[in-house]
A and B are shown apart, each in its own frame.
Chain A
Amino acid sequence: MAEVILKNVRKNYDPSIHQDVLRDINLEIKNGEFIVFVGPSGCGKSTLLRMVAGLEDITDGELQIGGKVMNDVPPVNRNVGMVFQSYALYPHMNLWENMAFGLKLKKMDKAEIEARVSKAADILGLTPLLDRKPKELSGGQRQRVAIGRCIVQQPSVFLFDEPLSNLDAALRVKMRIEIAKLHKDLKSTIIYVTHDQVEAMTLADRIVVLSPLKEEAASNLEQFGSPLDLYHSPANKFVAGFIGSPKMNFVKGELIEIGEKECKVKLTSGDVVVGCVDARRAKVGDSIELGIRPEHLLPNDHDGAHGHIKGVVVVAEHLGAESFVYLSVDGKDFTVKTHSEVVANSGDVMEVGVPKEAVYLFDTKGIAFPRTAKYNRDKGALPLV
């Protein structure tokens, strides 16, 4: 049980080349929180996790675990447990030995080792397999052993490095639920790295979104907040595009009317859309980018639609429960999530309704304008808390 604090953390693998991997990362992770680091490949999320674990050194800044500065403390004394993407089980030891390895190194007495291992095996359903070697196990069981090896150490912080990426889809869902349950039972702090935003949204108390560091950027920490915060109030275009599936649609345009609660935008496609966005820091005529999530678009004749966007159907996917229609709006891809019986043939012109509460707006630098409402397709407009 411990909180983890990162202050102005920077990582540079090779100081002779001025190419930082991570810059100015500030995080305060509370005791018992489930934190997910998410971002595309190369954003440094695994590196950041390995820095917390002590497998990579910290170029600059400070790392505290449980109130103690841990920059130069070796991994074993940080009281962390780590589950590797590749499981990293010791192939020549059976499951019992795998889990007991660390405890034996700490010269713990036999009864205590036995108690801890059998308790962990019990939690994870591994008891009947204890004398098997890792190669005799399935992927999901190996993953569980890797978690078990962490649990027996009773660490104050669990670190998971893309633990589910080697499992098939069905098992991934099952293990995801088990990890969520484990967090509930153990109540320890968990830091979990993934590139899968669905895992991030479903597991996390709070999400850290990282982006690949650009040369001139001050930091590659894009946003740190709860899943719904990121969904409804993304700080910038990167977060807006990363969180949500399918991806948010972006259309370029310019501001033609600015109000306290609402503004009006003329898109490059010629359509005019109203949005519940406070754009007062910009002025009329400024170029902006409008964002709208595929799941927030409405049929053209819907009462809730305050604006319309027209496009040409490229292809439609019917999944049964729902359909995705891929439009070309002013030459750009534009996804619409709609009901399953929609009729859309390639080449048709299709117009969709845009509720003003569902509009996101970004300036030319990609920074979001504050929204004044949020939207849910079932419930319509919701107040923004």
Chain B
Amino acid sequence: MPIVQPKSLIYRVVATHIFMWFFLALIVFPLLMVIAISFRQGNFSVGSIIPEHFTLDHWRLALGIPVVEADGSITPPPFPVLTWLWNSVKIASITAAFIVVLSTTSAYAFARMKFAGKGLILKGMLIFQMFPAVLALVAIYAMFDKIGQYFPALGLNTHAGLVFIYMSGIALHVWTIKGYFETIDPSLEEAAAIDGATPWQAFRMILLPLSVPILAVVFILSFIGVVTEYPVASLLITDAAKYTLAVGAQQYLYPQNILWGDFAAAAVMSGLPITIVFMLAQRWLVGGLTAGGVKG
């Protein structure tokens, strides 16, 4: 850094570090708590953060392995957690992929094409998105009940139906991608048009490769959104074997017997797919892709 800094800088650096550590602790502590609970004997929510009586029982149960108790009795895994995890990953990946496809194509139309009512539709989408999906639960239930009578594959208690509902939540993603497209100079596509590209080719070969970072962001956001979504999934899916992990994990928390330890293990596991997707997608989250193309 060529800028001359005053001496007091060192104190500011120290203060910044202290603040950051404090802030980090605030975020990390609950996570550590949950991890600790999942390794602690018994199903208690309180206890020390480093387990005094370490056990893998909760994890065994979560992974579907029966546990042999000290008295010789066998506790079978109460719920098919791995199936739920798989359901979550499957639904979230399919939904995120569809959302990326749908929102990029519609964002392209909004960013580059002229048509009547463009502003109205854009604003309308934003406003409708402001109502929580919970408010529409009754309507969604009624609609999918009806749809199910004609297309059972898309009706209640199906994963396809769930994906279908989640795909309706693209308005914010359309806005995000549209904003990104608008930062890309349209002369790039004009140059492509003169080079002989059709609008589709210009979109696919010029615009999309330059938009990979924003597509990765949208994929991650919609993936997380689906994995953590509870109300719609709990309403639509009634079969325990078809639950997503977010819905299924609630089963541990029945009022008479809250299984904190088992719940904690399932909760930590539900964080895994998100972490993995994020780490995989991180390599696409790079800036400066459009550098050098245009001067202006």
Residues in chain A within 8 A of chain B (CB atoms): 53-55, 74-76, 80-82, 84-92, 101-102, 105-106, 133-137, 139, 142, 149, 153, 166
Cβ–Cβ contact A81 & B295, under 8 A: no
Give 8 pairs: A residue, B residue, CB < 8 Å, sorted on A.
A76-B193, A76-B194, A82-B194, A84-B294, A89-B293, A91-B293, A101-B192, A166-B295
| In the bound complex, CA of A166 to CA of B291 (Å) | 16
| In the bound complex, CA of A136 to CA of B291 (Å) | 9
Residues of A within 8 A of B195 (CB): 76, 101-102, 105, 149, 153
| In the bound complex, CA of A81 to CA of B290 (Å) | 23
Which residue on chain A has the smallest CB distance to residue B184? A91
Interface presence of B201 (CB below 8 A): yes
Cβ–Cβ contact A91 & B292, under 8 A: yes
Smallest CB separation, B155 vs chain A (Å): 44
- Known contacts A84-B187, A84-B190, A85-B187; 10 additional CB pairs below 8 A are A76-B196, A81-B194, A87-B293, A87-B295, A89-B191, A89-B293, A89-B294, A90-B191, A91-B188, A105-B195
| In the bound complex, CA of A94 to CA of B205 (Å) | 14
Residues of B within 8 A of A137 (CB): 292
Which residue on chain A has the smallest CB distance to residue B288? A135
Cβ–Cβ contact A149 & B191, under 8 A: yes
Which residue on chain B has the smallest CB distance to residue A74? B193
| In the bound complex, CA of A365 to CA of B210 (Å) | 53
Interface presence of B35 (CB below 8 A): no
Q: Decide: A86 near B209, CB < 8 A? Known: A76-B194, A153-B195.
A: no
Cβ–Cβ contact A84 & B191, under 8 A: yes
Residues of B within 8 A of A142 (CB): 292, 295
Interface presence of B134 (CB below 8 A): no
Ranked nearest first, the 6 interchain pairs of A and B with the lowest CB-CB distance are A135-B292, A102-B195, A91-B293, A134-B292, A86-B294, A76-B196
Residues of A within 8 A of B294 (CB): 84, 86-89
| In the bound complex, CA of A106 to CA of B197 (Å) | 9
Which residue on chain A has the smallest CB distance to residue B208? A92
Interface presence of B272 (CB below 8 A): no
| In the bound complex, CA of A336 to CA of B276 (Å) | 74
Interface presence of B289 (CB below 8 A): yes
Cβ–Cβ contact B201 & A86, under 8 A: no
| In the bound complex, CA of A274 to CA of B190 (Å) | 54
Residues of A within 8 A of B292 (CB): 89, 91, 133-137, 142
Smallest CB separation, B296 vs chain A (Å): 5
Interface presence of B253 (CB below 8 A): no
Q: Decide: A134 near B293, CB < 8 A? Known: A84-B187, A90-B206.
A: yes
| In the bound complex, CA of A106 to CA of B188 (Å) | 18
| In the bound complex, CA of A142 to CA of B296 (Å) | 13
Q: Using a Cβ cutoff of 8 Å, how many contacts connect chains A and B? A: 90
Chain B's interface size range is: 20 to 34
**Complex interface bits, B261-296 against A, C-beta within 8 A gives 1, otherwise 0:** 000000000000000000000000000111111111
Which residue on chain B has the smallest CB distance to residue A76? B196
| In the bound complex, CA of A102 to CA of B195 (Å) | 4
Which residue on chain A has the smallest CB distance to residue B296? A86
Which residue on chain A has the smallest CB distance to residue B294? A86
| In the bound complex, CA of A149 to CA of B294 (Å) | 14
| In the bound complex, CA of A136 to CA of B201 (Å) | 26
Scan residues 170-224 of chain B and give those whose CB is less than 8 A from a CB of chain A: 185, 187-188, 190-197, 201, 205-206, 209-210
For A53, A86, A133, the residue with the greatest tally of chain B CB atoms inside 10 Å of its CB is A86
Q: Decide: A75 near B293, CB < 8 A? Known: A84-B187, A92-B209.
A: no
For B191, B192, B293, B294, the residue with the greatest tally of chain A CB atoms inside 10 Å of its CB is B191
Cβ–Cβ contact B196 & A91, under 8 A: no
Smallest CB separation, B284 vs chain A (Å): 13
Which residue on chain B has the smallest CB distance to residue A134? B292
| In the bound complex, CA of A91 to CA of B287 (Å) | 12
Cβ–Cβ contact A88 & B289, under 8 A: no
Smallest CB separation, A196 vs chain B (Å): 17
Cβ–Cβ contact A135 & B291, under 8 A: yes
| In the bound complex, CA of A65 to CA of B201 (Å) | 26
Cβ–Cβ contact B193 & A55, under 8 A: yes
| In the bound complex, CA of A28 to CA of B209 (Å) | 41
Out of A85, A92, A102, which one reaches B210, CB within 8 Å? A92
Residues of B within 8 A of A80 (CB): 194
| In the bound complex, CA of A277 to CA of B289 (Å) | 61
Residues of A within 8 A of B190 (CB): 55, 82, 84, 88
Which residue on chain B has the smallest CB distance to residue A135? B292
| In the bound complex, CA of A134 to CA of B292 (Å) | 5
Smallest CB separation, B74 vs chain A (Å): 59
Residues of B within 8 A of A87 (CB): 293-295
**Complex interface bits, B85-105 against A, C-beta within 8 A gives 1, otherwise 0:** 000000000000000000000
| In the bound complex, CA of A133 to CA of B289 (Å) | 11
Residues of B within 8 A of A153 (CB): 195
Out of A54, A74, A88, A91, which one reaches B291, CB within 8 Å? A91
Which residue on chain B has the smallest CB distance to residue A82? B194
Out of A55, A74, A90, A139, which one reaches B295, CB within 8 Å? A139
Smallest CB separation, B216 vs chain A (Å): 15
Q: Decide: A105 near B194, CB < 8 A? Known: A91-B290, A92-B210, A142-B292.
A: no
| In the bound complex, CA of A137 to CA of B206 (Å) | 19
Residues of B within 8 A of A133 (CB): 292
| In the bound complex, CA of A55 to CA of B197 (Å) | 13
Smallest CB separation, B210 vs chain A (Å): 6
Cβ–Cβ contact A92 & B289, under 8 A: yes
| In the bound complex, CA of A75 to CA of B202 (Å) | 13
| In the bound complex, CA of A90 to CA of B293 (Å) | 6
Out of B196, B290, B295, which one reaches A102, CB within 8 Å? B196
Out of A54, A82, A136, A166, which one reaches B191, CB within 8 Å? A82
For B188, B193, B195, B206, the residue with the greatest tally of chain A CB atoms inside 10 Å of its CB is B195
Residues of A within 8 A of B289 (CB): 91-92
| In the bound complex, CA of A76 to CA of B201 (Å) | 13
